Amino acid sequence: MKRIMLAAGLVIAASVAVAETAVTYTVDQEFDDVTFGLESAITDRGLVIDAVSYVGDMLERTRADVGSDVTLFEQARVYSFCSASLSRKVMEADPMNLQFCPYDIFVMQKPGEDMTTIGFRAMPDGVMQEVQTMLDQIVQDAIAD
């Protein structure tokens, strides 16, 4: 579905999908522009990127080793980070919320497609919705052009 979103005072067009397991935005932006925007949106909040997983590179590098001839992604990365204050809040509410930390946002581009998809795991109801709101704000900032 096409939806017009207002982010950082700019209007952008994006396809938004909310599944039970993930929230994704598909945009007509270059992969490198989206990842740069994501890195900026995370660090601009004073958060530290703990790790960048180059999942697409790993899958392509090991494709033949596992007996596959399918290229899944042109590029795919997962950015992991945490918020000390928000993590403390959600874990004080329920220590089992540890399972969701660090928080991850993925960016991917499929072979032969010009669109880039960015998203994150949907969080459970309750206090974890505050984390989902933070992740959604970061993603929307990342894709605002």
What CATH number does residue 136 fall under?
A: 3.30.310.70
- Which residues, at least 6 apart from 16, have a Cβ–Cβ distance to it below 8 Å? 1, 3, 5, 23, 24, 25, 26
Query: What global pTM score does this model have?
Result: 0.86
pLDDT band of residue 85 (cuts 50, 70, 90) is very high
Average pLDDT on 105-133 reads 97
**Confidence at residue 7, expressed as pLDDT on a 0 to 100 scale:** 37
**Confidence at residue 2, expressed as pLDDT on a 0 to 100 scale:** 32
Res 10 pLDDT > 70: no
- The whole domain housing 134 covers 2-7+16-143
- Which residues, at least 6 apart from 11, have a Cβ–Cβ distance to it below 8 Å? 4, 5
Alpha-carbon distance of 103 to 123, in angstroms, equals 10
Share of the chain above pLDDT 70, in %: 87
Res 116 pLDDT > 50: yes
Domain count, the chain: 1
Q: Is 47 helix (H, G, I), strand (E, B) or coil?
A: coil
Res 92 pLDDT > 60: yes
**Confidence at residue 11, expressed as pLDDT on a 0 to 100 scale:** 37
11-34 per-position pLDDT tens digit: 345 666 766 799 999 999 999 999
Contact status, residue 131 vs residue 118, Cβ threshold 8 Å: no
